A and B are shown apart, each in its own frame.
Chain A
Amino acid sequence: MEAIIQFAPYTGWVYPNETVFEWSVLIAVYPYLTGLVAGAFTVSSLYQVFGFERLKPVAHMALLTSLSFMIFVPTPLLLHLGHPERAFNSTITPHLTSAMAMFGFFASFYVALLILEGWFAYRPFIVDQAQKQSGLLGKFYSLLTLGSHDVSEHAMRYDRKWIFALAVIGIPAAHGLHGYVGFMYGSLKSREWWSSDLMPVIFLFSAIISGVSLLAVLYVASCKLRKIAVDLACLKGLAYTIWAFIMVALVLEGLEFANIVYKGREGVDMIMQYVTGPLLVPYFILQFAVGAITPFFWLSYMIWRGTSGRALVIGVTVCACLVLFSVFMMRWNVVIGGQEISKTGKGLLSYHMPFFGKEGALVAILLTIAPLGLLYVLTRLFPPWADAATHAHS
């Protein structure tokens, strides 16, 4: 039987082996999910470490969101591998010069950290539920107490120290994890579109804005579902955070593009032809104009006018959705865009995403939504709501 390969149409001169797209949409989903993890964790840290009290209503949801998405981060990679059953080869016998080899360690460490921080944050709730609930659920919470039922003020102080320490460690861990994802692309010298020292920081800042935006959307949605009022101070806090970081993200992306154009190295003609042709809409219009500049000005306007109430809720939610879209487009434009520009610097390819299939659009959409399903289950087991009587301590 003939192997099923998607061949890419091209113009100009491309190397014969380039006519198959090796990194599909799933490889764009992977840094997207990782970025959401890092961004969501930023919110949790802003509260736990830097004392942003107004973010309290989303602090615990940030942890759960981070964990839910982190668990799904390896899935697009596994689906993409030619031999997924050998995936652990890179962990048990890591090739130390490879940027990719360390992923297993970083990811595992970070998942462990999230679980540990989550356990400390939810300990009073777990202890409480272990005593109240009966049956299977009671046993579940009992098991999670790990035999420790002490929730005295003294013990809580002790827990808080752990939470603080873990949150402090988590900041470099989360951001290191995502900066490293950017390094995987930025360190490749084979493609002018990827090969940039700025790539890790660009990934990092776009990660932060995407994660914070995700929390803003989730927070507003959760309030609507629970039929409670949105805490406007909290939402404003999230809006300020998005606004501040979006500025940095925009400056960095602008610098990156300016560098490519200004240096004008070999292949720049093809890049210019690409960004003013096939990439015009996904890059300049969708990623920048619609996804980044529009929310930036909208948020600026709301901050300037002191917008409040329903207008603020709608404004921030729409801006957050736009940012989420923009950051996905950024991942797409890097991963797919990079491959659409031939290594020869003399040709362009075009990627056609299949809808079905292991690496199609459907799987990509499902993998992006799946963490939300897990998050729903986790919020049922460990309610993150600051207003609830059984709320975990902080």
Chain B
Amino acid sequence: MRDEDTRPTLAARRGFLAKLAGAASCAGAAVAAASLGVIPAASAKTETPLDAASFPTKDYDWTRHQWGFGVDATKCIGCLRCVEACKTENDVPRNAHQFRTWVERYVHLEGEGEVRIDSQQDPVNIEASGSEKEFRFANRYKDAKVDKAFFVPKLCNQCTHPACVQVCPTGATYRTKDGVVLIDHGYCIGCRYCVQACPYGARYFDEEKGVSDKCTWCYHRITKGLQPACVEVCPVGARVFGDQKDKQSPISLFIRNNRVQVLRPETGNAPNVFYVGIDKEVN
């Protein structure tokens, strides 16, 4: 009796499971088909479009430029006008903890083995400026015997192989055809994996907007034929910017006429900010 009862039920159950498997396969196939369409489209966010469409400015063709940035540390006087200009131009939060660009000061004091390094965010420098919204280097070594000292401007290196782009789970950050790493603030989920991945500390998280942010070499300006704000205001020409495809541009001449180096080449990121006049401690 029991056996007779169970046989048909088992058959029905098998049938049910077969249907379930069938439905699952159909759903799986549908998802796979959709994925084939969606995934390349999504991953393409990080790849450059093939067409030479004008983006984001009319009459701008991003396939015809390859931007590059040079820093001549021997010229920098640490006036921090670049930092001011950047904060204003790019709506960077006015505090001493979030920067798209910053300047580092390296000081070797007589008789000291270790180099002393600070930046405008250092509490001593903030005290000297009187506000977290304004920046200056305090004259903290005026009574000391200085062996060697220099300033190093820093900014996003717009790497050719950016670790930040590699780790972004959504593709919200991507590298443009003309060589700048940008962030789609309308798509960033705010996980901050990119902030962790950047070996240069170039990224910060904007709490108010809930997204990551960083230097774009003033992409909104350079695509209109202007210079980045920091380059524009630098009074000594320590910051050099231009198109590497133009052999007579300031950056091409800078790279050609100097022995340039990049920061942390061992990361394999292939940075595109080229330095002259930095010392062994700078990374």
Are A and B subunits of one complex? yes
Residues of A in contact with B (beta carbons under 8 Å apart): 3-5, 7, 13-20, 22-23, 77, 80-84, 86-87, 89-90, 92-101, 103, 146-150, 152, 154-155, 158, 184, 188-191, 266, 339, 343-346
Across-interface contacts of A152 in B (CB, < 8 A): 2-3, 6, 9-10
Cα-based distance from A93 to B41 in the complex (angstroms):
8
Q: Are B38 and A93 touching (Cβ within 8 A)?
A: yes
Q: Are A95 and B45 touching (Cβ within 8 A)?
A: yes
Partner-binding segment picked from B64-72, B161-169, B225-233, B252-260: B161-169
Q: Are B97 and A22 touching (Cβ within 8 A)?
A: no
Known A-B contacts: A22-B192, A344-B117. Give 20 more (CB < 8 A).
Answer: A3-B206, A16-B119, A16-B201, A19-B97, A20-B205, A77-B191, A81-B210, A82-B191, A82-B205, A86-B189, A94-B42, A94-B169, A95-B42, A95-B171, A97-B166, A152-B6, A158-B10, A189-B268, A190-B163, A344-B201
Known: A82-B189, A147-B16, A345-B283. A154 touches B169 (CB 8 A): no
Q: Could you mark each residue 187-202 of chain B with 1 if its beta carbon is under 8 Å from any beta carbon of chain A, else 0?
A: 1111111011111111
Q: List 7 A-B contacts (CB under 8 A).
A: A3-B208, A16-B96, A22-B195, A98-B169, A101-B169, A188-B163, A190-B198
Across-interface contacts of B117 in A (CB, < 8 A): 13, 344, 346
Cα-based distance from A345 to B267 in the complex (angstroms):
14
| Partner among A96, A99, A150 whose Cβ is within 8 Å of the Cβ of B13 | A150
Known: A3-B207, A17-B98. A81 touches B189 (CB 8 A): yes
Q: Which residue of B lies closest to A15 (CB)?
A: B201
Q: Could you mark each residue 39-56 of chain B with 1 if its beta carbon is under 8 Å from any beta carbon of chain A, else 0?
A: 101110110000000000
Q: Are A89 and B118 touching (Cβ within 8 A)?
A: no
Across-interface contacts of B163 in A (CB, < 8 A): 188-190
Cα-based distance from A20 to B192 in the complex (angstroms):
12
Q: Are B39 and A83 touching (Cβ within 8 A)?
A: no
Across-interface contacts of B268 in A (CB, < 8 A): 189
Across-interface contacts of B10 in A (CB, < 8 A): 150, 152, 154-155, 158
Cα-based distance from A65 to B219 in the complex (angstroms):
51
Interface core residue of B168, B169, B198 (most chain A CB under 10 Å): B169
Known: A86-B187, A86-B189, A90-B189. A5 touches B97 (CB 8 A): yes
Across-interface contacts of B169 in A (CB, < 8 A): 89-90, 94-95, 98, 100-101, 103
Let me know if B120 is at the binding interface, CB within 8 A. yes
Interface members, chain B 169-227 (any A CB < 8 Å): 169-172, 187-193, 195-212
Interface core residue of A15, A84, A95, A152 (most chain B CB under 10 Å): A95
Cα-based distance from A316 to B197 in the complex (angstroms):
40
Let me know if B274 is at the binding interface, CB within 8 A. no
Let me know if B121 is at the binding interface, CB within 8 A. yes
Q: Which residue of B lies closest to A92 (CB)?
A: B38
Residues of B in contact with A (beta carbons under 8 Å apart): 2-3, 6, 9-10, 12-14, 16, 38-39, 41-43, 45-46, 93, 95-99, 102, 117-121, 154, 163, 165-172, 187-193, 195-212, 267-268, 283
Across-interface contacts of A14 in B (CB, < 8 A): 201
Cα-based distance from A90 to B170 in the complex (angstroms):
5
Q: Which residue of B lies closest to A24 (CB)?
A: B192
Q: Are A150 and B118 touching (Cβ within 8 A)?
A: no
Across-interface contacts of B190 in A (CB, < 8 A): 81-83, 86
| Partner among B38, B119, B199 whose Cβ is within 8 Å of the Cβ of A190 | B199
- Minimum CB–CB distance from B235 to chain A (whole Å) comes to 22
Cα-based distance from A146 to B12 in the complex (angstroms):
12
Across-interface contacts of A84 in B (CB, < 8 A): 189
Q: Are A189 and B200 touching (Cβ within 8 A)?
A: no
- Minimum CB–CB distance from A89 to chain B (whole Å) comes to 4
- Minimum CB–CB distance from B184 to chain A (whole Å) comes to 10
Known: A16-B99, A17-B204, A150-B6. A23 touches B192 (CB 8 A): yes
Q: Which residue of B lies closest to A149 (CB)?
A: B9
Interface core residue of A86, A98, A101, A189 (most chain B CB under 10 Å): A98
Q: Are A15 and B200 touching (Cβ within 8 A)?
A: yes
| Partner among B97, B119, B199, B205 whose Cβ is within 8 Å of the Cβ of A189 | B199
Known: A17-B201, A95-B168. A82 touches B196 (CB 8 A): no
Cα-based distance from A155 to B96 in the complex (angstroms):
68
Interface core residue of B3, B38, B196 (most chain A CB under 10 Å): B196
